[in-house]
Amino acid sequence: MTEREFDPRLPLRKRLGMLFGLLSAVAIAIGLVTLGVLIADVTHDGWRALSWDFLTSYPSRRPEQAGILSALVGSFYILILVALIAFPLGVAAAIYLEEFAPQNRLTATIEINLSNLAAVPSIVYGLLGLGVFVRTFMLGRSLLAGALTLSLLVLPIIIIASREALRAVPPSIREAGLALGASQWQTVRLFVLPAAWPGILTGTILALARAIGETAPLITIGALTYVAFTPQSLFDPFTVLPIQIFNWISRPQPAFHERAAAGIIVLLAVLLLFNGLAIFLRARLQRRIRF
């Protein structure tokens, strides 16, 4: 290769690449600093209100007695129900679409709709839940209606994440299983699915973390902002942490704002716990996989 064959724009491209990297680092730093300032401000405002009584008391019209027990229990119940509904459906749909579905126009249409549904604003799912679960099936403002609505919200995300995890498994694993005489389902169940579990689990937990922080769909279906009891059945009214925080922050008393800041700290702690659990389980499953 002669000197004339070198691209004369290569030094310019290198400089532009360095400039782009610098701008990206500055943008990341600005985002992290802003996030740190917001977390520090919330911690400063809510640390004094954070106590064991705050975690074990019901909401009250008196800010010094208000707690988040009903919202915390409601969020936990919603999370469990959404996981029980959306996880098996999402993983089963991903396995079928990725491993068994024929490549035809119907499958392509389903894939396009899944991508579109994952980007739909959450308020649309709230309206859908209001029309289908609350009014058509007459579930009312119940825990089950909220769980079904949020399950619709996270289901496309779980399907897409699970499909990507299955797609990342090398084709040689499938070919080896079939060459040994295993059926297609046995190959998927015994070889492909265990290799894809870390990605499936990570995508599912991140989807559940989004569900626990959603407010708009639950407000749309009529979740209560003041609940002084914990749900005893699937058909009882409920509230969750984001709605309780919204209720407190909308009040004029500064003491309620401190309670809202304390609720934000609890919500962030729950989200960090779930993300940490996802990282731990992913690492543990990856160590067990040996191909």
d(CA 265, CA 134): 31
Write down the pLDDT at residue 33: 95
Write down the pLDDT at residue 162: 92
Write down the pLDDT at residue 246: 87
First and final C-alpha spacing in the chain: 42
d(CA 84, CA 243): 23
Domain coordinates in residue numbering, the chain: 3-46, 52-288
Among candidate residues 164, 163, 135, the one with its CA nearest the CA of residue 149: 135
DSSP state of 99: I
d(CA 25, CA 33): 12
pTM across the whole model: 0.84
CA–CA distances in Å: residue 264 to residues 80, 122, 217: 21, 20, 19
pLDDT in tens, the chain (291 residues): 455 565 677 777 888 888 998 999 999 999 999 989 999 988 888 888 888 888 888 888 888 888 899 889 999 999 899 999 999 999 999 999 998 988 888 888 888 888 888 888 888 998 999 899 988 998 888 899 999 999 999 999 999 999 999 998 888 888 888 888 888 899 998 889 988 888 898 888 888 888 888 888 888 887 777 778 888 888 988 889 988 998 898 888 888 999 999 999 999 888 888 778 777 877 777 776 655
d(CA 75, CA 69): 10
CA–CA distances in Å: residue 248 to residues 38, 163, 209: 18, 40, 22
- The dotted CATH code for 52-288 is 1.10.3720.10
d(CA 88, CA 91): 5
Write down the pLDDT at residue 6: 58
Write down the pLDDT at residue 1: 46
d(CA 131, CA 138): 10
State the alpha helices, DSSP H only, in the chain.
Answer: 10-46, 52-56, 69-95, 105-118, 122-129, 143-167, 171-179, 184-187, 193-212, 216-220, 241-249, 254-288
